[in-house]
A and B are shown apart, each in its own frame.
Chain A
Amino acid sequence: MRRENGFGLLLGRGHNDISKPQQYKLNGKGSELELRIFAGDQPPVNGDLTQIYPTLLYQGRFRVPLGKIYPDGTKVWLQMSYPVDSEHKMPETSIWIDTEDNFIRTLRYEELSEEK
């Protein structure tokens, strides 16, 4: 996922497996959150994502309405995971904002291409 500078890892495999929501912050005041998602090689053990930048391929973007305007620096939690008990083979992304129990929505992977 594209961050203000560089990329953040939302979903890994093996030693990079991420099961918990990852915490980020809004980089500006707004009522919409834009997520830009990329896929690439597995990051190295030391976690240095810059090494896999040349392997990244753009998958698309989501523009998620947040329901109200949140200030710059508001906490955001993102979790990308494979849905349990579902026919879907593609991962989905869940979003929380401001507080850990303020769930916004879950996005299906197919929605990326619709927003592209």
Chain B
Amino acid sequence: MIPFGQVLDLDANEFHDLQADPNKVVKVQGLVRELLEGNPARQLGIKQQIIEDIGQSALPGLISATYVLVDNLKNERQRELLADIIYAVSLDNPSAALLLLKAGIIDNPVWAGQQIIAQVVQRLGLGGLAIEETSFLLKEAVKHAEIDDREVAVILFECLLPLGIGVKEALKVCTDWLKTKYKIDAPVSLISALLNAAPEETENTLSLLLRHIERDNKDRSQTFSSIIEFTTLNTVQGAIRSGSQRLSIERTGRAKPVEFLFMGCIARYIASHEADIEVLDQFINAGNFNSGILRYWWQALSTAVKLKSEGAKRNFEHCLSHLVDQEACLLACIQLLYIVEQDASTKAWARQLLQDVKQSNPALYQNAVDEKAKHKRKDNNHEDDDGTGLSGIR
């Protein structure tokens, strides 16, 4: 509804569909085409013309342009330019968000167009929507998930979850999707949105994901570890607990999904949050976790060293200078042997550290060399074809 005070305000539009004024839609689409084909100076002029002269009533035409001019959107800069204009004409219009979601995402027949509108909706937020509107969107999200229109379902959930809406439904959708043989991208994107929206549920959410990936499935593991990003210490701790749960059901105590969780998501987190390394080190050593977790933790630290983490280097140095925990020291030495072999930028540092261990504790050094050789033999003989051993991961 238009507020009473704005009834005579031509810019206070209430939108229902894209075809209310076809002439204006065609006019705006023509301007968008000129915009996309024009030089930067001309683009600025057209942008101003759409935002200032046409204003909010340009929105249906702009959305429709994402249907018909998507082939003209050749690069990221052009997509951002169009998204900026759509965002500008949608601001301060309470009807805009719903039209963007309905016509721009749910009904949009072009995937690339949906992505542009999703970007705008995420910038706008859905805070102004009424309960019946968010209920409608949640029903649409579930419906599109059921008919396997996964892109639309993920976009709608990504908009609703930050409002605390749809957590239960999104978890169910993830479970159903993970049971199928489709690509894992959509459920992982949804899990990523769930982790951001409900970090306190990290352990349950990630357990769901890890449970549904086979122990030796490298492709699925690699996909999720490249998409999911942890942003808080609590979520990493929840992830470690879920990894331990997953390992506990494996006879060998190893599993690709857990390995990739540590080598990808957790390694990236500790490389960019060095102050948390010590806290996580204590968390893992003090916690009652599956024994495999300690091995994966040292692999994560090793990966973080390769990502230029000084904090991870200090953790190696601290462990090997105090020699308190024999198992941790052995795992640290094995990782250093791999670094010497494989990472040119840090191998001098690793070699020096190993040299110190060799002098101070030759038995430990020899043990690490023997363990590494054992893993390498296994790998060469394909005895351990899940590749989750220390040698298999590189």
Report A's interface with B, CB cutoff 8 A. 2, 5-7, 36, 38, 50, 53-58, 61, 116
Contact = CB atoms under 8 A, between A and B. Distances in A.
Contact of A116 (B26, B68, B72, B107): B107
Contacts of A57: 18-19, 22, 25-26, 64
A53 B109 contact: no
Contacts of A36: 109
Contact of A54 (B18, B22, B32): B32
Contacts of A116: 107
B64 A58 contact: yes
B24 to A, nearest CB: 11
Contact of A5 (B30, B32, B71, B107): B71
Contact of B109 (A5, A6, A50, A58): A58
Nearest to A58: B67
Going nearest first, the 3 A-B pairs with the smallest beta carbon separation are: A36-B109, A54-B29, A56-B68
Given A57-B19, A57-B25, 8 more contacts: A2-B110, A36-B109, A53-B69, A53-B71, A54-B33, A54-B65, A58-B67, A58-B107
B19 to A, nearest CB: 7
Contacts of B72: 53
A116 B16 CA distance: 14
Interface in B24-43: 25-26, 29-30, 32-33
Contacts of A6: 71
B388 to A, nearest CB: 33
A61 B152 CA distance: 16
Interface of B: 18-19, 22, 25-26, 29-30, 32-33, 64-65, 67-69, 71-72, 107, 109-110
Contact of B68 (A5, A53, A61): A53
Nearest to B109: A36
Given A38-B68, A53-B68, A58-B18, A2 B26 contact: no
Contact of A55 (B29, B32, B71): B29
A58 B66 CA distance: 11
Contacts of B68: 7, 38, 53-54, 56, 58
Contacts of A61: 109
Given A56-B68, A58-B18, A2 B109 contact: yes
A57 B110 CA distance: 13
B30 A54 contact: yes
Contacts of B30: 54-55
8 contacts: A38-B67, A53-B71, A54-B69, A55-B26, A55-B29, A57-B18, A57-B19, A58-B68
Nearest to A41: B26
Contacts of B107: 58, 116
B110 A54 contact: no
Contacts of B22: 57
Contacts of B19: 57
Contacts of A50: 71
B112 to A, nearest CB: 11
A36 B110 CA distance: 9
Nearest to B71: A6
Nearest to B30: A54
Given A2-B109, A2-B110, A116-B107, A54 B71 contact: no
Contacts of A7: 68
Contacts of A55: 26, 29-30
Interface centre among B25, B68, B69, B107, by most A CB within 10 Å?
A: B68
Point out which of B22, B29, B30, B65 has the most chain A C-beta atoms below 10 A from its C-beta: B29
A68 B310 CA distance: 58
A6 B73 CA distance: 12
Contacts of B67: 38, 56, 58
B26 A54 contact: yes
A53 B67 CA distance: 10
A41 B36 CA distance: 21
A80 to B, nearest CB: 17
A1 B68 CA distance: 10
B245 to A, nearest CB: 37
A32 to B, nearest CB: 10
Contacts of A38: 67-68
Contacts of B64: 57-58
Nearest to B19: A57
A53 B72 CA distance: 10
Nearest to B17: A116
A110 B360 CA distance: 84
A7 B25 CA distance: 19
A51 B137 CA distance: 36
Nearest to A2: B109
A56 B22 CA distance: 10
